Structure formats: structure tokens, C-alpha cells
Amino acid sequence: MEEKNKVEKLFTDVKEYAETKLDLVALNVQEKGSDVMGSAASILVIGIVILFVLLFLSLGAAFIIGHCFHNFSIGFFLIAGFYFLVGLVIYFSRNKLIKMPVINALLKKINFHEED
């Protein structure tokens, strides 16, 4: 009889341990997911602010260049050409400049150690 109670207690303890471990895994997934989403949201907000700053700086530069050439369309075409060249450089080095840093940052966020 006593042996049967020990086996039942062992199975109960193993079941409780498994449930606790599953809860812990779920909490870790939630924590890592919320951390990644928070980082993505902050990057999005910062990106939008930078986009507006770049837009107004570009407009200002186009007007200044256009004023120097006495033709505002030349200023806008030169700024557009500059962004076209920047776009080509980014396109041809997109794996090195964008893809790998994003993947590394996500993996770093997801795989952080518990003591960090």
C-alpha cells in the first residue's frame, strides 16, 4: 500500500513539475515577444521622426540649390538624383546593410540570457 502511495505521489509531483515548466516557458515566450514588439514599435516611431526630418531637410536643400541655379526644378532633380544613387547603393548592399543587422538584432533580443 505504501509503495502505491509513493508511486502516485511521484506521478503527481512529475505532473505538477511539467505544468510549472510549461507555465514558465509560456511566460518566457510572452516576455520575449513583448520585448521584441516594444523594440519594433520604438524603432517605427524613431523611423517616422527621422523620415520627417529627412523630408524637410531635403526640401530645404532643394530650394537652396534651386535658388543658386535660379531654377527650383534643378534643385529638386539634383536631390532626387542623390536619393536615387543612395537607393542604388542600399539596394545592392541590402543583405549587408539591412537584412543581417535586423536578423542579428532579433536573434539577440530573443536569445537573451536569464541573468541579463
Nearest C-alpha neighbor of 61 from the set 47, 45, 82:
82
Do residues 73 and 66 touch, judged by C-beta distance below 8 A?
Answer: yes
pLDDT of residue 113: 56
The label of the residue with cell 502516485 reads: 8
pLDDT of residue 67: 96
DSSP string spanning 33-71?
HHHHHHHHHHHHHHHHHHHHHHHHHHHHHHHHHHHHHT-
Say if pTM beats, i.e. exceeds, 0.75.
Answer: no
State the 10-residue block means of pLDDT for the chain, 116 residues long: 78 90 88 84 94 97 96 96 95 89 82 57
pLDDT of residue 112: 65
pLDDT of residue 85: 97
Task: Tell me which H or E stretch contains 6.
Answer: helix 2-69
pLDDT of residue 70: 95
pLDDT of residue 116: 46
